[in-house]
């Protein structure tokens, strides 16, 4: 992420119970999240967009550079997806 100017060094996964939010939109980007996604309020729209799993793809990589190519590709695909989202005002 640092390659594209995003600092995630202080980021961490959080449980939904830690967030005091009423969600309008929930986007899952991996199969596990989609399958285990909890129920949200009836107002929340849940969208699943499946992206490849970089750890799985890079498991048999010949070297670090080949492994990183999977992470970079998926990162860029997610970025393009988010950039293309349209929100109703």
Task: Convert the pLDDT of each residue in 21-51 to its tens digit.
Answer: 888 888 888 887 778 777 776 688 888 899 9
**Of residues 70, 16, 21, 24, the one with CA closest to residue 47:** 24
Across the range 60-71, mean pLDDT stands at: 96
pLDDT(58) > 60: yes
CA distance 48 to 27: 6
Q: Which domains does the chain have, with CATH numbers?
A: 23-84 (3.40.50.2300)
CA distance 27 to 14: 15
Name the 3-class secondary structure at 49. Answer: coil
């Amino acid at each position: 992420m640092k390659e594209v100017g995003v600092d995630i060094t202080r980021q961490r996964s959080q449980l939904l119970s830690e967030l005091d939010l009423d969600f309008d939109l929930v986007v899952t980007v991996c199969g596990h999240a989609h399958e285990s996604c909890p129920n949200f309020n009836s107002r929340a729209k849940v969208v699943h967009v499946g992206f490849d799993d970089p750890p799985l793809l890079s498991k048999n990589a010949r070297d670090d550079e080949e492994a990183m190519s999977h992470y970079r590709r998926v990162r860029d695909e997610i970025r393009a997806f988010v950039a293309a989202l349209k929100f109703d005002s």
